[in-house]
Amino acid sequence: MEYAVEMHGIVKIYHETGLHANDGVDLVLTKGEILCLAGENGAGKTTLMKVLYGLEHLDAGSISIMGKEESINSPLVANRLGIGMVHQHFMLVDDFTVAQNVTLGTEPRYGGIIYDLKKAEKEVAALIEEHHFSVKASNKVGSLTIGQKQQVEILKMLYRDIDILILDEPTAVLTEQEIEALFVTLRTLVTYGTSLILITHKLHEIKAISDRIAIMRQGKMVGDFATDSIDEKEISRLMMGQSISLTIDKVEYTQEKMPVLQFEDVSVVRKNQEHPLLNAVSFSALSGEILGFAGVGGNGLGELESVLSGMLPISTGRVVHKGLDITSLSTHALRQRGLAYVPADRLHVGSALEADVAENMIVAARSKFCRNGILQQKRIEQHTANLLKIYAIKGTPRMPIGTLSGGNIQKVILAREIEQYRDYIVFSEPTWGLDVASSRFVYDQMTQLKSSGAAVILISSNLDEVLAASDRVIVFYRGSIVAMLEGDELNKVSKEEMGAYMLGLKRQEAFHG
């Protein structure tokens, strides 16, 4: 059997931190197979793939492509060898069309000079046709959905005649339907002879798509199996090093539940937009419960998050916090009233990556750490060190937060917001991109907050999470509430039925009209 990729004894050490990200890793990829590279956050999956793609330089080991040993020291070399990579964060120019983005850097030209846009569009259109993508070559990338942007990234690689394609967490930002479409695409690619490596830690996806699975833990390869020969429990055991349960214990809050935060007919209307972003949304978040919000991306969950955090002014309606109208308060004023909020975008909103951990930790509580306008650095450092210890965060107060792993960054944000919370707290996509252990940590924190009487608002596009964690679930479709489930109804609801609500196929009696 011939291998598309053979990696032997790969060692990659990050010298700034002394971290052995890859510690003697072997990996082979057979031609025309789909390999899932699984592991927790920080297991070294992405590093290994960056080595293969020439983004990181290896400290020891060898790489052979199509049986020939190669030294890959830049992505250009990787491209020339037929290796392509689709990153988790897209690298696209919003103001360019799909064709312009796809051909960027290898544009077809008249006489070697002038950009032949027509030809580019024709070639890209043919490529789209061939692979049954849903984008148009002439679409502006800025107007595409996330799933379509990912298609453009894949097209970019196909246009360059890639036959080994690496995808870094390709499903992390996609909705269920988009994931299905992606999988169809990937299977088609394989029939054309492309070999694929997917980095992921979603167990059911591994089972659904891959031929083979390679599992990494703490920089080492701990297992390599044909996917049929291993079950999800075993995969997760190897990834985690221990068995884990996939349910969240629900603790009942015994005291009387009081309304903390109320939305009264809240609508957000944008100029020139036919459909309101939020349409007469009313609900009441109660103390001692987790109120979950579910919905497919683009149906109002993002706007709900923005309204809750005071970043999006509402057009009509009222927001009431403990009897006081807070409709028009700025984020600054809401923070002073005790707004605690874990944002969906932890890298661009939830933290300042170049600032250190302590600076990130005090942002909302900064006034508590100064006297006469002078910051009390000692107290800030102590406070931060203390929280780092309580939340078992690997790091020190004066490291830039950007040097921490994604899971640890999220823990810093959690620590900060839980410190800040007074009576309600908003979690938006709190476990997005986190491994199982970190996710569990988040769930434990939410449960604890709830049992101490907090009104916990959970906004999540992860359906399993919303169903498992919430006491009450509200479903959004096109900016409106279409269903509210609680108690038995919630315990019994099937994922199919939820899907019907989320896709607008079904609507509860109370929310008709």
Partner 1 sequence: MDKSLKKKRPVLPAVFRNSFGILVIIAIALVVIVILALLLSKTPLRTLRYFFLGPLQNMYYFGNMLNTAIPLIFGGLGFSLAMRAGNFNLGGEGQLYSGAFVATVSALALAQWGIFGVIIALLLGAVTGGLIAGLSGVLKMRWNATELITTFLVSYAVVLIVNYLIAGPFLDTETNLIATKKIPENFRFLRILEPSNLSIGLLFAIVAVILVHLYLYKTKSGYELIMVGLNPRFALYGGIRTRWYQVWPMFLSGAFFGLGGGMTIFGTYYACMKDFSVGMGWNGLAVALIARYRPAAIIPAALFFAYIESGARNAMLHSDVTFEIASIVQSVVFFLVTSSVLQKIGVRKRGL
The dihedral formed by the CA atoms of 39, 44, 49 and 51, expressed in degrees to the nearest 10: -170
The dihedral formed by the CA atoms of 450, 455, 460 and 463, expressed in degrees to the nearest 10: 60
Q: Does 74 bind partner 1 (CB under 8 A)?
A: no
Q: Pick the binder of partner 1 from 68, 204, 271, 332 (CB under 8 A).
A: 332
- In sign, the C-alpha dihedral spanning 151, 153, 156, 162 is negative
Instruction: Measure the CA–CA gap between 84 and 196, rounded to whole angstroms.
Output: 10
Reported residue count of the chain is 513
Q: Pick the binder of partner 1 from 78, 85, 319, 339 (CB under 8 A).
A: 339
Instruction: Measure the CA–CA gap between 312 and 283, rounded to whole angstroms.
Output: 18
Quote the least distance from Cβ 278 to partner 1, whole Å. Answer: 20
Q: Please identify, using beta-carbon distances, which residue of 88 and 396 lies nearer to partner 1.
A: 396
Instruction: Measure the CA–CA gap between 178 and 185, rounded to whole angstroms.
Output: 11
Quote the least distance from Cβ 59 to partner 1, whole Å. Answer: 11
Quote the least distance from Cβ 359 to partner 1, whole Å. Answer: 7
Q: Does 352 bind partner 1 (CB under 8 A)?
A: yes
Span interacting with partner 1, options 17-25, 253-261, 451-459, 474-482, rule CB under 8 A: 17-25
Q: Does 496 bind partner 1 (CB under 8 A)?
A: no
Specify which residues 198 forms β-bridges with.
36, 167
Q: Do residues 220 and 29 touch, judged by C-beta distance below 8 A?
A: no
Q: Does 276 bind partner 1 (CB under 8 A)?
A: no
Q: Beta 340-342 vs 424-428: how paired, if at all?
A: parallel
In sequence order, the 6+-apart residues with CB closer than 8 A to the CB of 16 are 403
Q: Where are the alpha helices (DSSP H) in 421-504?
A: 436-451, 463-469, 487-492, 495-502
Q: Does 135 bind partner 1 (CB under 8 A)?
A: no
Q: Does 364 bind partner 1 (CB under 8 A)?
A: yes
Quote the least distance from Cβ 357 to partner 1, whole Å. Answer: 12
Edge-to-edge order in the sheet of strand 60-65: 19-30, 3-14, 60-65, 68-70
Instruction: Measure the CA–CA gap between 37 and 22, rounded to whole angstroms.
Output: 13
- For residue 79, CA distances in Å to 367, 395, 457 come to 51, 36, 45
User: Which 390-429 positions form the footprint of partner 1 (CB under 8 A)?
Assistant: 394-396, 399, 403, 405
Quote the least distance from Cβ 330 to partner 1, whole Å. Answer: 8
Span interacting with partner 1, options 32-40, 75-83, 238-246, 348-356, rule CB under 8 A: 348-356
Q: Pick the binder of partner 1 from 71, 106, 328, 377 (CB under 8 A).
A: 377
Quote the least distance from Cβ 337 to partner 1, whole Å. Answer: 10
Tell me the number of residues near partner 1 by CB under 8 A: 42
Q: Pick the binder of partner 1 from 177, 309, 316, 508 (CB under 8 A).
A: 309
Q: Does 378 bind partner 1 (CB under 8 A)?
A: no
Q: Does 349 bind partner 1 (CB under 8 A)?
A: yes
The residue ranges that bind partner 1 (CB under 8 A) are 15-20, 42, 309, 311, 330-332, 334-336, 339, 341, 343, 348-355, 359, 363-364, 366-367, 370, 373-375, 377, 394-396, 399, 403, 405
